[in-house]
Amino acid sequence: MALSRVFAKQTYTFFSPPVALMGIGAVDGVGEEAKKLGAKKALLVTDPGMAKIGVADQIIKLVEAAGVQVVLFAGAMPNPTYTNVADGVKVYKENNCDMLISLGGGSSHDTCKGIGIVVSQGGALSDYIFPVVLTKKFPPYITINTTAGTASEMTRYAVITDDTIHVKKVFGDANLMPDVSINDPMMHAGMPARLTAATGMDALTHAVEGLLTELTTPITDACGFEAIRLISKWLRKAVANGQDLAARDGMAYAEYLAGLCFGNAGLGCVHSMAHQPGSLLNLPHGECNAIALPVVCEFNLTAKLERFAQIAEALGENITGLSTRDAAVKAIDAIRALSKDIGIPSGYSALGMKESDIPKLAENAYKDFCTFFNPKDIKLEDLVELYKKAF
Protein backbone atom coordinates (compact mmCIF):
# COMPACT_ATOMS: atom_id res chain seq x y z
CA MET A 1 0.00 0.00 0.00
CA ALA A 2 2.78 2.43 0.92
CA LEU A 3 4.58 1.62 -2.34
CA SER A 4 1.46 2.29 -4.40
CA ARG A 5 1.05 5.70 -2.73
CA VAL A 6 4.62 6.62 -3.60
CA PHE A 7 4.21 5.64 -7.23
CA ALA A 8 0.80 7.31 -7.44
CA LYS A 9 2.61 10.64 -7.07
CA GLN A 10 4.56 9.86 -10.25
CA THR A 11 1.56 9.11 -12.46
CA TYR A 12 -0.09 11.44 -14.94
CA THR A 13 -2.72 11.44 -17.68
CA PHE A 14 -2.08 12.52 -21.26
CA PHE A 15 -5.00 13.68 -23.41
CA SER A 16 -5.04 13.69 -27.22
CA PRO A 17 -7.71 13.21 -29.90
CA PRO A 18 -8.42 9.57 -30.84
CA VAL A 19 -7.87 10.37 -34.55
CA ALA A 20 -5.84 13.16 -36.15
CA LEU A 21 -5.75 13.58 -39.93
CA MET A 22 -2.68 15.60 -40.97
CA GLY A 23 -1.10 16.75 -44.23
CA ILE A 24 -2.13 17.92 -47.69
CA GLY A 25 -5.52 16.49 -48.67
CA ALA A 26 -6.45 15.42 -45.13
CA VAL A 27 -9.74 17.33 -45.27
CA ASP A 28 -10.98 15.02 -48.03
CA GLY A 29 -11.54 12.38 -45.35
CA VAL A 30 -14.11 14.40 -43.38
CA GLY A 31 -17.13 12.71 -44.97
CA GLU A 32 -15.89 9.20 -44.34
CA GLU A 33 -15.04 10.09 -40.73
CA ALA A 34 -18.51 11.57 -40.19
CA LYS A 35 -20.07 8.42 -41.58
CA LYS A 36 -17.96 6.24 -39.25
CA LEU A 37 -19.28 8.17 -36.26
CA GLY A 38 -22.83 7.14 -37.17
CA ALA A 39 -24.35 10.58 -37.51
CA LYS A 40 -27.39 11.44 -39.62
CA LYS A 41 -27.35 15.24 -39.47
CA ALA A 42 -24.37 17.42 -38.52
CA LEU A 43 -24.33 21.04 -37.44
CA LEU A 44 -21.40 22.74 -39.18
CA VAL A 45 -20.20 25.60 -36.98
CA THR A 46 -18.06 28.25 -38.64
CA ASP A 47 -17.56 32.00 -38.96
CA PRO A 48 -19.13 34.33 -41.56
CA GLY A 49 -15.84 34.57 -43.48
CA MET A 50 -15.58 30.82 -44.08
CA ALA A 51 -19.17 30.83 -45.32
CA LYS A 52 -18.66 33.85 -47.57
CA ILE A 53 -15.58 32.53 -49.39
CA GLY A 54 -17.14 29.11 -50.04
CA VAL A 55 -15.04 26.95 -47.72
CA ALA A 56 -18.11 25.93 -45.72
CA ASP A 57 -19.82 24.81 -48.93
CA GLN A 58 -16.78 22.70 -49.77
CA ILE A 59 -17.06 20.88 -46.43
CA ILE A 60 -20.83 20.45 -46.78
CA LYS A 61 -20.36 18.74 -50.16
CA LEU A 62 -17.72 16.37 -48.76
CA VAL A 63 -19.88 15.37 -45.79
CA GLU A 64 -23.15 15.05 -47.68
CA ALA A 65 -21.44 12.93 -50.35
CA ALA A 66 -20.85 10.40 -47.57
CA GLY A 67 -24.57 10.33 -46.73
CA VAL A 68 -24.62 12.69 -43.73
CA GLN A 69 -26.86 15.78 -43.90
CA VAL A 70 -25.39 19.14 -42.86
CA VAL A 71 -26.97 22.27 -41.36
CA LEU A 72 -24.83 25.42 -41.48
CA PHE A 73 -24.39 27.78 -38.53
CA ALA A 74 -22.03 30.60 -39.51
CA GLY A 75 -22.41 32.56 -36.28
CA ALA A 76 -19.01 32.05 -34.64
CA MET A 77 -17.40 35.41 -33.88
CA PRO A 78 -13.93 36.46 -32.69
CA ASN A 79 -13.71 36.06 -28.90
CA PRO A 80 -16.95 34.01 -28.93
CA THR A 81 -19.63 34.74 -26.36
CA TYR A 82 -22.41 32.99 -24.48
CA THR A 83 -24.81 34.62 -26.93
CA ASN A 84 -23.04 33.07 -29.95
CA VAL A 85 -23.32 29.69 -28.27
CA ALA A 86 -27.02 30.14 -27.46
CA ASP A 87 -27.74 31.02 -31.10
CA GLY A 88 -25.98 27.83 -32.22
CA VAL A 89 -27.82 25.69 -29.67
CA LYS A 90 -31.11 26.93 -31.10
CA VAL A 91 -30.15 25.92 -34.65
CA TYR A 92 -28.89 22.50 -33.47
CA LYS A 93 -32.13 21.73 -31.64
CA GLU A 94 -34.50 23.12 -34.27
CA ASN A 95 -32.91 20.90 -36.93
CA ASN A 96 -32.62 17.76 -34.76
CA CYS A 97 -28.88 17.50 -35.34
CA ASP A 98 -26.93 14.62 -33.81
CA MET A 99 -23.34 15.62 -34.60
CA LEU A 100 -21.01 18.63 -34.54
CA ILE A 101 -18.38 19.76 -37.04
CA SER A 102 -16.37 22.94 -36.44
CA LEU A 103 -14.57 24.70 -39.28
CA GLY A 104 -12.17 27.58 -38.70
CA GLY A 105 -9.84 28.80 -35.98
CA GLY A 106 -10.27 28.91 -32.24
CA SER A 107 -13.45 30.99 -32.34
CA SER A 108 -15.33 28.38 -34.37
CA HIS A 109 -14.02 25.45 -32.33
CA ASP A 110 -14.75 27.11 -28.97
CA THR A 111 -18.25 28.13 -30.10
CA CYS A 112 -18.90 24.57 -31.23
CA LYS A 113 -17.68 23.13 -27.94
CA GLY A 114 -19.99 25.49 -26.08
CA ILE A 115 -22.92 24.33 -28.21
CA GLY A 116 -21.99 20.73 -27.51
CA ILE A 117 -21.87 21.35 -23.76
CA VAL A 118 -25.39 22.77 -23.64
CA VAL A 119 -27.07 20.28 -25.99
CA SER A 120 -25.51 17.28 -24.24
CA GLN A 121 -25.58 18.35 -20.59
CA GLY A 122 -28.69 20.58 -20.45
CA GLY A 123 -29.05 23.78 -18.45
CA ALA A 124 -27.01 26.90 -19.15
CA LEU A 125 -23.42 27.14 -20.39
CA SER A 126 -22.49 29.02 -17.21
CA ASP A 127 -23.30 25.86 -15.21
CA TYR A 128 -20.20 24.14 -16.61
CA ILE A 129 -17.29 26.54 -16.04
CA PHE A 130 -14.08 24.64 -15.25
CA PRO A 131 -13.54 22.61 -13.08
CA VAL A 132 -17.12 21.36 -13.42
CA VAL A 133 -17.10 17.86 -14.92
CA LEU A 134 -19.34 16.93 -17.86
CA THR A 135 -21.22 13.78 -16.86
CA LYS A 136 -23.19 13.11 -20.05
CA LYS A 137 -21.90 11.97 -23.42
CA PHE A 138 -20.87 14.71 -25.86
CA PRO A 139 -22.20 14.52 -29.46
CA PRO A 140 -19.89 13.00 -32.09
CA TYR A 141 -17.48 15.79 -32.96
CA ILE A 142 -15.09 16.55 -35.85
CA THR A 143 -12.87 19.63 -36.08
CA ILE A 144 -11.40 21.12 -39.27
CA ASN A 145 -8.69 23.65 -38.55
CA THR A 146 -7.92 26.67 -40.75
CA THR A 147 -5.32 28.46 -38.59
CA ALA A 148 -2.07 27.32 -37.01
CA GLY A 149 -2.42 28.81 -33.58
CA THR A 150 -5.09 28.13 -30.97
CA ALA A 151 -5.01 24.29 -31.02
CA SER A 152 -8.64 24.39 -29.90
CA GLU A 153 -9.30 21.86 -32.65
CA MET A 154 -7.54 19.20 -30.56
CA THR A 155 -7.63 20.22 -26.89
CA ARG A 156 -10.13 19.56 -24.12
CA TYR A 157 -10.58 23.27 -23.43
CA ALA A 158 -12.75 26.12 -24.67
CA VAL A 159 -12.61 29.81 -23.75
CA ILE A 160 -15.89 31.71 -24.10
CA THR A 161 -16.77 35.24 -23.01
CA ASP A 162 -19.59 35.84 -20.58
CA ASP A 163 -20.94 38.88 -22.42
CA THR A 164 -22.93 40.09 -19.41
CA ILE A 165 -19.68 40.91 -17.55
CA HIS A 166 -17.15 40.84 -20.45
CA VAL A 167 -14.93 38.20 -18.85
CA LYS A 168 -13.58 35.06 -20.53
CA LYS A 169 -14.50 31.79 -18.86
CA VAL A 170 -12.64 28.50 -19.27
CA PHE A 171 -14.43 25.21 -19.92
CA GLY A 172 -12.43 22.02 -19.68
CA ASP A 173 -13.26 18.35 -19.78
CA ALA A 174 -12.10 15.26 -21.66
CA ASN A 175 -15.52 15.20 -23.35
CA LEU A 176 -14.56 18.34 -25.28
CA MET A 177 -11.82 16.46 -27.11
CA PRO A 178 -12.95 15.87 -30.71
CA ASP A 179 -13.35 12.38 -32.09
CA VAL A 180 -11.44 13.47 -35.21
CA SER A 181 -9.13 16.46 -35.64
CA ILE A 182 -8.19 17.56 -39.18
CA ASN A 183 -5.21 19.80 -40.02
CA ASP A 184 -4.78 20.19 -43.77
CA PRO A 185 -2.25 22.90 -44.79
CA MET A 186 -4.34 23.58 -47.90
CA MET A 187 -7.01 24.93 -45.53
CA HIS A 188 -4.45 27.34 -44.03
CA ALA A 189 -3.05 28.67 -47.31
CA GLY A 190 -5.46 31.60 -47.60
CA MET A 191 -4.64 33.11 -44.20
CA PRO A 192 -3.50 36.75 -44.39
CA ALA A 193 0.02 37.55 -43.16
CA ARG A 194 -1.15 39.35 -40.02
CA LEU A 195 -3.39 36.45 -38.96
CA THR A 196 -0.60 33.97 -39.77
CA ALA A 197 1.76 35.94 -37.53
CA ALA A 198 -0.74 36.26 -34.68
CA THR A 199 -1.79 32.61 -34.67
CA GLY A 200 1.82 31.48 -34.98
CA MET A 201 2.78 33.49 -31.91
CA ASP A 202 -0.22 32.03 -30.11
CA ALA A 203 1.20 28.57 -30.80
CA LEU A 204 4.64 29.67 -29.58
CA THR A 205 3.07 31.01 -26.40
CA HIS A 206 1.33 27.67 -25.84
CA ALA A 207 4.61 25.78 -26.15
CA VAL A 208 6.64 28.18 -24.00
CA GLU A 209 4.05 28.43 -21.22
CA GLY A 210 3.37 24.69 -21.35
CA LEU A 211 7.07 24.03 -20.73
CA LEU A 212 7.16 26.25 -17.64
CA THR A 213 4.40 24.81 -15.42
CA GLU A 214 4.80 22.27 -12.65
CA LEU A 215 2.65 19.77 -14.61
CA THR A 216 5.24 19.04 -17.30
CA THR A 217 6.08 15.46 -18.22
CA PRO A 218 8.57 13.90 -20.64
CA ILE A 219 5.77 13.74 -23.23
CA THR A 220 4.71 17.37 -22.89
CA ASP A 221 8.37 18.41 -22.97
CA ALA A 222 8.96 16.51 -26.20
CA CYS A 223 5.90 18.11 -27.79
CA GLY A 224 6.69 21.62 -26.54
CA PHE A 225 10.33 21.74 -27.61
CA GLU A 226 9.62 20.30 -31.04
CA ALA A 227 6.81 22.82 -31.51
CA ILE A 228 9.25 25.65 -30.75
CA ARG A 229 11.83 24.25 -33.17
CA LEU A 230 9.22 24.05 -35.94
CA ILE A 231 7.90 27.56 -35.26
CA SER A 232 11.43 28.97 -35.32
CA LYS A 233 12.00 27.27 -38.68
CA TRP A 234 8.70 27.92 -40.44
CA LEU A 235 6.76 30.90 -39.03
CA ARG A 236 8.73 33.63 -40.78
CA LYS A 237 8.36 31.76 -44.07
CA ALA A 238 4.62 31.23 -43.60
CA VAL A 239 4.13 34.96 -42.93
CA ALA A 240 6.31 35.96 -45.91
CA ASN A 241 4.56 33.63 -48.37
CA GLY A 242 1.14 32.31 -47.45
CA GLN A 243 1.18 29.84 -50.36
CA ASP A 244 4.37 28.10 -49.11
CA LEU A 245 2.78 24.73 -48.33
CA ALA A 246 5.92 23.37 -46.64
CA ALA A 247 5.76 26.30 -44.21
CA ARG A 248 2.02 25.87 -43.73
CA ASP A 249 2.47 22.15 -43.08
CA GLY A 250 5.31 22.81 -40.63
CA MET A 251 3.18 25.30 -38.73
CA ALA A 252 0.22 22.91 -38.67
CA TYR A 253 2.37 20.30 -36.94
CA ALA A 254 3.87 22.96 -34.66
CA GLU A 255 0.53 24.24 -33.38
CA TYR A 256 -0.75 20.68 -32.90
CA LEU A 257 2.31 19.71 -30.85
CA ALA A 258 2.05 22.94 -28.84
CA GLY A 259 -1.57 21.99 -28.14
CA LEU A 260 -0.52 18.58 -26.84
CA CYS A 261 1.97 20.38 -24.60
CA PHE A 262 -0.22 23.01 -22.98
CA GLY A 263 -3.38 20.90 -23.22
CA ASN A 264 -1.80 18.56 -20.67
CA ALA A 265 0.61 20.82 -18.77
CA GLY A 266 -1.40 24.05 -18.56
CA LEU A 267 -0.57 27.69 -19.26
CA GLY A 268 0.44 30.78 -17.26
CA CYS A 269 0.13 34.53 -16.90
CA VAL A 270 0.71 35.34 -20.56
CA HIS A 271 -2.70 33.87 -21.22
CA SER A 272 -4.15 35.43 -18.07
CA MET A 273 -3.11 38.82 -19.45
CA ALA A 274 -4.16 38.08 -23.05
CA HIS A 275 -7.63 36.83 -22.15
CA GLN A 276 -8.67 40.19 -20.67
CA PRO A 277 -8.17 42.55 -23.64
CA GLY A 278 -9.89 39.91 -25.77
CA SER A 279 -13.03 39.79 -23.63
CA LEU A 280 -13.18 43.42 -22.43
CA LEU A 281 -11.97 45.18 -25.59
CA ASN A 282 -12.42 42.46 -28.25
CA LEU A 283 -8.74 42.59 -29.24
CA PRO A 284 -7.15 39.69 -31.21
CA HIS A 285 -6.03 36.87 -28.92
CA GLY A 286 -2.86 35.92 -30.79
CA GLU A 287 -1.48 39.45 -30.84
CA CYS A 288 -2.40 39.93 -27.18
CA ASN A 289 -0.39 36.82 -26.35
CA ALA A 290 2.55 37.86 -28.53
CA ILE A 291 2.83 41.27 -26.85
CA ALA A 292 2.67 39.84 -23.32
CA LEU A 293 4.96 36.86 -23.94
CA PRO A 294 8.43 38.45 -23.60
CA VAL A 295 7.27 40.69 -20.75
CA VAL A 296 5.94 37.79 -18.67
CA CYS A 297 8.98 35.64 -19.57
CA GLU A 298 11.22 38.33 -18.08
CA PHE A 299 9.13 38.22 -14.91
CA ASN A 300 9.31 34.41 -14.74
CA LEU A 301 12.99 34.16 -15.71
CA THR A 302 14.51 33.50 -12.28
CA ALA A 303 12.00 30.74 -11.52
CA LYS A 304 12.99 28.66 -14.55
CA LEU A 305 16.51 29.64 -15.69
CA GLU A 306 17.47 26.18 -16.95
CA ARG A 307 14.21 25.76 -18.83
CA PHE A 308 14.53 29.16 -20.51
CA ALA A 309 18.05 28.22 -21.61
CA GLN A 310 16.61 25.10 -23.25
CA ILE A 311 13.91 27.21 -24.93
CA ALA A 312 16.61 29.52 -26.31
CA GLU A 313 18.34 26.54 -27.89
CA ALA A 314 15.07 25.30 -29.40
CA LEU A 315 14.61 28.78 -30.89
CA GLY A 316 17.92 28.35 -32.69
CA GLU A 317 20.13 30.39 -30.37
CA ASN A 318 23.76 29.35 -29.83
CA ILE A 319 24.18 29.07 -26.06
CA THR A 320 27.55 27.30 -26.07
CA GLY A 321 29.82 28.64 -23.34
CA LEU A 322 27.16 30.91 -21.82
CA SER A 323 26.12 30.94 -18.19
CA THR A 324 22.65 29.53 -17.54
CA ARG A 325 21.29 33.04 -16.95
CA ASP A 326 22.82 34.50 -20.10
CA ALA A 327 21.50 31.56 -22.11
CA ALA A 328 18.04 32.04 -20.57
CA VAL A 329 17.99 35.73 -21.54
CA LYS A 330 18.67 34.71 -25.15
CA ALA A 331 15.24 33.01 -25.23
CA ILE A 332 13.53 36.33 -24.54
CA ASP A 333 15.72 38.13 -27.09
CA ALA A 334 14.81 35.49 -29.69
CA ILE A 335 11.08 35.84 -28.98
CA ARG A 336 11.27 39.61 -29.42
CA ALA A 337 13.24 39.23 -32.65
CA LEU A 338 10.70 36.79 -34.07
CA SER A 339 7.80 39.10 -33.17
CA LYS A 340 9.53 42.05 -34.83
CA ASP A 341 10.35 40.08 -37.98
CA ILE A 342 6.74 39.04 -38.55
CA GLY A 343 5.18 42.43 -37.77
CA ILE A 344 3.62 41.92 -34.35
CA PRO A 345 2.56 45.31 -32.86
CA SER A 346 5.07 46.58 -30.31
CA GLY A 347 2.57 47.14 -27.50
CA TYR A 348 -1.06 47.03 -26.44
CA SER A 349 -1.46 50.75 -27.15
CA ALA A 350 -1.06 49.96 -30.86
CA LEU A 351 -4.15 47.74 -30.64
CA GLY A 352 -6.29 50.48 -29.10
CA MET A 353 -5.95 49.71 -25.40
CA LYS A 354 -5.95 52.74 -23.10
CA GLU A 355 -3.75 53.08 -20.03
CA SER A 356 -6.92 53.67 -18.02
CA ASP A 357 -7.99 50.08 -18.90
CA ILE A 358 -5.07 48.56 -17.01
CA PRO A 359 -6.47 48.39 -13.44
CA LYS A 360 -9.56 46.46 -14.56
CA LEU A 361 -7.55 44.20 -16.88
CA ALA A 362 -5.09 43.39 -14.10
CA GLU A 363 -7.88 42.65 -11.64
CA ASN A 364 -9.50 40.19 -14.05
CA ALA A 365 -6.14 38.64 -14.99
CA TYR A 366 -5.36 37.99 -11.34
CA LYS A 367 -8.59 35.97 -11.08
CA ASP A 368 -7.98 34.14 -14.37
CA PHE A 369 -7.66 30.36 -14.17
CA CYS A 370 -4.28 30.35 -15.95
CA THR A 371 -2.68 32.48 -13.23
CA PHE A 372 -2.77 29.46 -10.94
CA PHE A 373 -0.21 27.64 -13.12
CA ASN A 374 2.29 30.49 -13.52
CA PRO A 375 5.77 29.26 -12.48
CA LYS A 376 6.43 32.31 -10.28
CA ASP A 377 4.11 33.65 -7.59
CA ILE A 378 2.40 36.79 -8.82
CA LYS A 379 0.48 39.57 -7.09
CA LEU A 380 -2.12 41.97 -8.43
CA GLU A 381 0.38 44.83 -8.39
CA ASP A 382 2.78 42.68 -10.45
CA LEU A 383 0.15 42.30 -13.14
CA VAL A 384 -0.48 46.04 -13.18
CA GLU A 385 3.24 46.58 -13.82
CA LEU A 386 3.36 43.88 -16.50
CA TYR A 387 0.46 45.49 -18.35
CA LYS A 388 2.25 48.84 -18.15
CA LYS A 389 5.42 47.29 -19.61
CA ALA A 390 3.40 45.65 -22.40
CA PHE A 391 1.41 48.84 -23.06
Tell me the three state secondary structure of residue 158. strand
Note whether residue 263 is domain-resident. Answer: yes
**Calpha distance 45→75 (Å, rounded):** 7
Instruction: Give the pLDDT band (50/70/90) at residue 10.
Output: low
Instruction: Over range 86-106, report the average pLDDT.
Output: 97
For all residues of the chain together, what is the average pLDDT? 94
Range of the domain at 121: 19-188
Q: Are residues 223 and 139 part of one domain?
A: no
Instruction: Kindly state the DSSP code that residue 319 receives in the 8-state scheme.
Output: -
Please tell me which residue, 9 or 333, carries the higher pLDDT value.
Answer: 333
- When divided into structural domains, the chain yields a total of 2
Instruction: Over range 24-42, report the average pLDDT.
Output: 97
Amino acid 147: pLDDT = 93
- From residue 67, give the alpha-carbon distance in Å to each of 34, 108, 175, 182, 368: 9, 24, 26, 19, 43
Burial class (CB in 10 A: 0-12, 13-18, 19+), 243: exposed
Q: Are residues 359 and 212 part of one domain?
A: yes
Helix (H) or strand (E) holding 41: strand 41-45
pLDDT over threshold 90, residue 275: yes
Considering just the CA atoms, what is the radius of gyration of the chain in Å? Answer: 20
pLDDT tens-place string over residues 200-217: 999 999 999 999 999 999
Q: Are residues 51 and 113 part of one domain?
A: yes
Note whether residue 9 is domain-resident. Answer: no
Last residue of a domain, one of 124, 158, 188: 188
pLDDT tens-place string over residues 148-189: 999 999 999 999 999 999 889 999 999 999 999 999 999 999
**Calpha distance 155→304 (Å, rounded):** 25
Note whether residue 8 is domain-resident. Answer: no
Q: Are residues 226 and 143 part of one domain?
A: no
Last residue of a domain, one of 188, 223, 252: 188
Q: Are residues 377 and 296 part of one domain?
A: yes
